Amino acid sequence: MLKIINVVGARPNFMKVAPIVAAMKRREREFAPLLVHTGQHYDADMSDAFFRDLHLPAPDIYLGVGSAPREEQIAAVQERFEPLVEKEKPDWVIVVGDVNSTLAGARVSKKLGVKVAHVEAGLRSYDPTMPEEANRVETDRIADLLLTPSADANENLLAEGIAPERVRLVGNVMIDSLQKHLPQAKASRIKEKLALTDEQFTVVTLHRPSNVDELQALGRIVDALAQISERTTIVFPVHPRTQKTIAELGFSKRLLNLKNLQMIEPLGYLDFLGLYSGARLVLTDSGGIQEETTVLGIPCLTLRENTERPITVSLGTNVIVGTKTETIVSAAFAALDAKPKPAVAIPLWDGHTAERIVISLAHH
C-alpha cells in the first residue's frame, strides 16, 4: 500500500485534490491518502464551504502558516512540513498547481528523499514577474513524476530537458470536479438571490496583485466595467483582499454607483459554479476559470498579458485582452454580440483525470 501526502494551500488546490483523494479512497487496498492543509490562504467560512461543497474530508493535518510575503511563507511551510514528512514517511507527496505551498512541499520532499508528483505540471506563462511561474518551474525540476493537463505542457517540459519518462499526460483534474458538481451547482439559487432573470449577465473575478494593487491598471479595468455595465448586468464576487485595495485606491464609490454592477461577497464553490456557468460572458485574471469556461463554452476575457494555459485560447473560448480599457470593452461587446459557441472538447478533459493520476502513481 502506498502512503500519499496530498498538499493543499489555497482554494484552487481544493478542486484539484478532491477528485484525487476520492480516487485513492476507491482503491483503499492500494492507497492510504493523508490530506495536509498548509493554511497558506485560510478563511474559516470560505474554506469550510469549499471542503463541504467538494465532499473533501477534513484535513488530517493543518499547518496554519497564514499569510506572509512569498519567501517568508515558503520558509514557514517548509519548517512545519518537514517534521511531518519525517514522522509519516510517505511513499509520495503530491503537490498541485503553482502556489507557494506547492513549491515548499516539493522542496521538503526532495530534501528528505521522498518522491514528488506534481499535478498540473508543465504550464508556462513565460512571464518571469509572476511568482506562480517561479513556483511552477522549480517544482517541475524537483518532481519525480510530472502529471500534465495538456500536450503543450509536455512540449514545454521536454524543451526544458526534462526526461520523458518523468512526464505523464493525464488531463485536467479540475474538470473532474466541474463535471461531478455541475448538476448540483445548477440547482443553486444564487441567480434567484441576485435577481438575475435572464442569461445575459457577466461575471468578473479579480485577484492578481498586478491588477488590483496598481492604481493605473485597476483604473483602466474599472473604466472598462463602467462601459460594459451599460450593456449587461455585471456580478463581481470580491475577494476580501481585492475589496481592501479597491477601497485604498479610491474606486469603491464609483463601482458601487454603477447601477448594473453588483459587488457581492465571495461565493462557495457550488454557488460560484452555479453563477458563472449561466453567464453570457466572464472577465477574469484567474487561470482555472479560463479552463472551466472553455469546457462550458462560455466566452472568457483574460485580464492579463499572457496565460500559462494557451490551449484555452487556441482551442477554447478564451481571449487574452490585457488591461487596456478600449481592448477590454471592444472584446466584451464583440462577445456579447456573437452567437454562443458550443462547449469545447479538449483531449483528456473528460472527468477521469484523477483515475489516470492514481494509475500513474501505482505504475511509476
Q: Which domains does the chain have, with CATH numbers?
A: 2-171+350-363 (3.40.50.2000), 182-337 (3.40.50.2000)
41, 55, 207, 363: which is the annotated catalytic residue? 207
- Categorize the per-residue pLDDT at 42 as very low, low, confident or very high, splitting at 50, 70 and 90: low
Q: What is the pLDDT of residues 85-99, one digit of tens each?
A: 999 999 999 999 999
Q: Is the distance from CB of 81 to CB of 63 less than 8 angstroms?
A: yes
- Helix (H) or strand (E) segment spanning residue 240: helix 240-248
**Residue 207 is among the residues annotated as catalytic for this protein:** yes
DSSP code of residue 112: H
> CA–CA distance from 239 to each of 200, 231, 244, 272 (Å)?
23, 24, 9, 13
Q: What is the pLDDT of residues 242-288, one digit of tens each?
A: 999 999 999 999 999 999 999 999 999 999 999 999 999 999 999 99
Share of the chain above pLDDT 70, in %: 98
Q: What is the pLDDT of residues 63-76, one digit of tens each?
A: 999 889 999 999 99
CA-angle at 180, arms to 174 and 181, nearest 5° = 95
CA dihedral 239, 54, 312, 286 (to 10 degrees): 10
Q: What is the mean pLDDT of residues 149-158?
A: 98
Share of the chain above pLDDT 90, in %: 87
- Categorize the per-residue pLDDT at 153 as very low, low, confident or very high, splitting at 50, 70 and 90: very high
- pLDDT at res. 44: 61
Distance CA 148, CA 310 (A): 14
DSSP reduced 3-state for 331: helix
* Phi-psi domain of 211 (left: phi exceeds 0; alpha: psi -120 through 50; beta: other): alpha
